[in-house]
Structure 1
């Protein structure tokens, strides 16, 4: 028998569990790859580090701001609920639709493909080049099948209750945190070379873009407009690597003392990950010449660094195992939390009715499986890299709208108890809105191939909302 009362959610997640969901959902494969594109775009070590620090600071400000909203509305659905309460069901639906259409599912698909890619690195017969069948330009590789199977497995585990997902999340997140710390420490102790470090910081603040032509390095000075474009490209990667911290708000109904613990978990998780990301990039600059960071084969900066530290064979295998662990744990957190949005949407009559029911293990089983099905379609499409790029535009838009909601709720609903208030209000939340909105506009200007389809997916939610409203009536 299905149970569909919201109070059937069992508050079984501690502060540590919630923090592991924040950190574990953030750390995927980006930290091992993204630095190459940032290095090429910005052209110097100082500006490369500035992009990572800026992404960390922006993420921390947003996370601290969300603490106020989580204290006011500690309910399943998190950010969807915040938008509904600050604005109206229409804005909340656009967020929920975009989460289902591309943000949550597209991120899960992209992370699953990164998982499969490195499984294929260790076991080539499971790799991307081994096709199961081809029809014209469409093909399905063994790696795509591995990606889908990993999503199906994690979905099945999470349908059996939040306890199983909690165990996987905590074990895998602790493992990858210690692995990353280990890689950073070994890199700084064993792999670091003073001459490489000094050379990388000799012209730390020159603004150039780097490219290769006929095997030769080409350095191009950046004009003011080109600089803004380089920032947009760089921040697309660094912000995506730091994203998904808000997933913990979706499972508020299953967290002990959510009014306080969600805010604490948001801060602790984002702070830990920011420190690790900045430290990892310092390690790259101590181990690898800047050009080798920028032009690491297939952008695998982590692999290049590990090969310098441990030797070619051992280093590559070490990073492959770390990424497999990292992406598997990351997707567990994304899968666990995503279905709670669809649960709350269904309760509002804006999603499939079955998604608003809990199964015998007190989790939204139907929501988990429908999320799994669409994610597998995205894996099958082979367009996961494009989806990844589209994700960040939608993410920024809804972060801006949500944090603006703090200002609105302070005026319209001042009497709601606030167990935690946004740090640095109104200056820091306003600063975040300014920075994030600027980045979203830069993406529209300089990355239109990705940002415009991302905007299109959001706008597609408008007719869908009215269709859902008509169906509800």
Structure 2
């Protein structure tokens, strides 16, 4: 396999924006509102949870614009953390990213694709057994998810242009589909349902699937909001993926920051509008008790009738296919950058004849496929939301550190609303993480353990590097 030594800048502003939006929109918007509704119990607080998440996402994206303009290199957030702190901090991020954040997300999105494919082709049901290995039972849904991940990985090894075509086409399709759901949903809005949901819009309480409710103490309310945001943050995550492929974006100093702002704004507006539609066609009880949390399917039955299930299944198939393409495309660039720093397998730090990190792509494919087989990715993703926000905060704090360390460095773009908005994000992030530690500790310690396990791995890798150098 012949190799190239540099990336090819091929992505325009539109391509980068579609990568941001496409990586964010997966299956979450169709599902997680059920859990949010069970936690907060009212339409007003359901929308507030999405508004808070949208505000945090937009604020972080606008802040990242400064860093992306300073360091328009492959690796994105990994590079920012290295420049602001040191290689240990950036490695801990890269380690968490490789072991869970990116690879388990790929698995979760891949299995979501397969689950909704089963609505149209029941042979792919997650409840069937395709292979029984004794210690492990493999479903057709898991096999299909691995097949899709492998296919997208192969396509992306053919060059950045192959991946960007899929990304742009599928993202445009799912944005238009969601807009269609919103428009038709507004026409199907039920006045009595709307009034019932919004009459006591600020009455926050726990809403059980059986219809019973339970009140919160004044302090526990904040824990309920934090627990609700785990789902909305997961649904809004991966917006930073565009920073990982900075080396392949035309005019990156301008276009990365602009694509972050445009992409996150588009998705935030769509997410809020979609949830408003949910509250217009379904009672809060129906949202909370949706079968297998598939709120969009329940809403589509009201909007489109019996054809609703197939319509939503197709929408989610398009959404998850495009989402996984963006995540697969961008994630491999982080491992590439780690390898270039001597902190990963050396072969991962090379490009193939198509100027893409093929070895990194296939290694990512293997780990994501193993997560598909494990069936444990969903639990870990709930638990990793805490760590994701911690790294977002650390990166935004890095803006303040770099302004002090390198006051004269070129900054083609400066963080919007600095220092107020970045500080506000940090305060909100601390509140979110602190409340999870208090009220949902199971959502915090596994992610912390995975991240902290990167410390001994880091020093082991350095020891191996020194051993190689001494030979």
> TM-score scaled to structure 2, two decimals?
0.97
The equivalent of 2:379 in structure 1 is 386
The question of whether the paired residues in 2 share the 8 Å contact of 1:56 and 1:274 is answered with yes
The question of whether the paired residues in 2 share the 8 Å contact of 1:188 and 1:283 is answered with yes
5 Å-filtered alignment, 1:450-461, equals 450-461=443-454
1:404 corresponds, among 397, 410, 413, to: 397
Could you tell me which runs of 5 or more consecutive residues in structure 1 were left unpaired when the two chains were aligned.
Answer: none
Structure-2 change in CA distance of 1:447 and 1:135 (3 Å):
farther
Q: After superposition, what is the alpha-carbon deviation per residue over 1:190-232, rounded to whole angstroms, capped at 9, x for unaligned?
A: x1011111111010000210114xxx42111111232122112
The question of whether the paired residues in 1 share the 8 Å contact of 2:384 and 2:446 is answered with no
Secondary structure of 1:109's aligned partner: helix
The equivalent of 2:469 in structure 1 is none
1:342 corresponds, among 315, 335, 338, to: 335
Are residue 227 (structure 1) and residue 224 (structure 2) matched?
A: no
Secondary structure of 2:351's aligned partner: coil
1:285 corresponds, among 279, 285, 300, to: 279
Secondary structure of 1:363's aligned partner: coil
Are residue 210 (structure 1) and residue 207 (structure 2) matched?
A: yes
Are residue 185 (structure 1) and residue 178 (structure 2) matched?
A: no
User: Aligned-pair distance for 1:434?
Assistant: 1.1
The question of whether the paired residues in 2 share the 8 Å contact of 1:393 and 1:451 is answered with yes
User: Aligned-pair distance for 1:121?
Assistant: 1.8
Cα distance between partner residues in 1 of 2:437 and 2:325: 31
2:66 corresponds, among 55, 65, 68, to: 68
The question of whether the paired residues in 2 share the 8 Å contact of 1:4 and 1:356 is answered with no
Are residue 249 (structure 1) and residue 246 (structure 2) matched?
A: no
1:320 corresponds, among 313, 317, 320, to: 313
1:195 corresponds, among 172, 192, 195, to: 192
The question of whether the paired residues in 2 share the 8 Å contact of 1:2 and 1:357 is answered with no
Secondary structure of 2:3's aligned partner: coil
Cα distance between partner residues in 1 of 2:30 and 2:102: 21
2:435 corresponds, among 429, 433, 442, to: 442
User: Aligned-pair distance for 1:339?
Assistant: 0.5
User: Aligned-pair distance for 1:4?
Assistant: 5.3
1:271 corresponds, among 250, 265, 282, to: 265
Cα distance between partner residues in 1 of 2:388 and 2:368: 18
Cα distance between partner residues in 1 of 2:193 and 2:2: 61
User: Aligned-pair distance for 1:127?
Assistant: 0.9
5 Å-filtered alignment, 1:67-86, equals 67-86=65-84
Secondary structure of 1:217's aligned partner: coil
Structure-2 change in CA distance of 1:2 and 1:448 (3 Å):
farther
Cα distance between partner residues in 2 of 1:196 and 1:382: 37
Secondary structure of 2:202's aligned partner: coil
Are residue 370 (structure 1) and residue 370 (structure 2) matched?
A: no
The question of whether the paired residues in 1 share the 8 Å contact of 2:297 and 2:309 is answered with yes
Q: After superposition, what is the alpha-carbon deviation per residue over 1:57-99, rounded to whole angstroms, capped at 9, x for unaligned?
A: 0100000000000000000001111011111111111111110
The equivalent of 1:113 in structure 2 is 111
The equivalent of 2:3 in structure 1 is 3
The question of whether the paired residues in 2 share the 8 Å contact of 1:106 and 1:391 is answered with no
- Higher mean alpha-carbon deviation, 328-337 vs 194-203, is at 194-203
Could you tell me which runs of 5 or more consecutive residues in structure 2 were left unpaired when the two chains were aligned.
Answer: 467-471
The question of whether the paired residues in 2 share the 8 Å contact of 1:211 and 1:218 is answered with yes
Cα distance between partner residues in 2 of 1:417 and 1:113: 43
The equivalent of 1:261 in structure 2 is 255
Cα distance between partner residues in 2 of 1:445 and 1:154: 40
Secondary structure of 2:75's aligned partner: coil
Cα distance between partner residues in 2 of 1:136 and 1:48: 43
Cα distance between partner residues in 2 of 1:116 and 1:442: 34
5 Å-filtered alignment, 1:86-97, equals 86-97=84-95
5 Å-filtered alignment, 1:21-170, equals 21-135=19-133, 138-170=136-168
Q: How many residues align?
A: 466
User: Aligned-pair distance for 1:141?
Assistant: 0.6
> TM-score scaled to structure 1, two decimals?
0.97
Structure-2 change in CA distance of 1:359 and 1:347 (3 Å):
same
The question of whether the paired residues in 1 share the 8 Å contact of 2:119 and 2:309 is answered with no
Secondary structure of 2:8's aligned partner: coil
1:433 corresponds, among 426, 434, 437, to: 426
Cα distance between partner residues in 2 of 1:354 and 1:4: 13
Secondary structure of 1:311's aligned partner: helix
The question of whether the paired residues in 1 share the 8 Å contact of 2:4 and 2:354 is answered with no
The question of whether the paired residues in 2 share the 8 Å contact of 1:13 and 1:254 is answered with yes
Are residue 419 (structure 1) and residue 412 (structure 2) matched?
A: yes
Superposition CA RMSD, Å: 1.1
Cα distance between partner residues in 2 of 1:140 and 1:446: 35
User: Aligned-pair distance for 1:135?
Assistant: 5.0
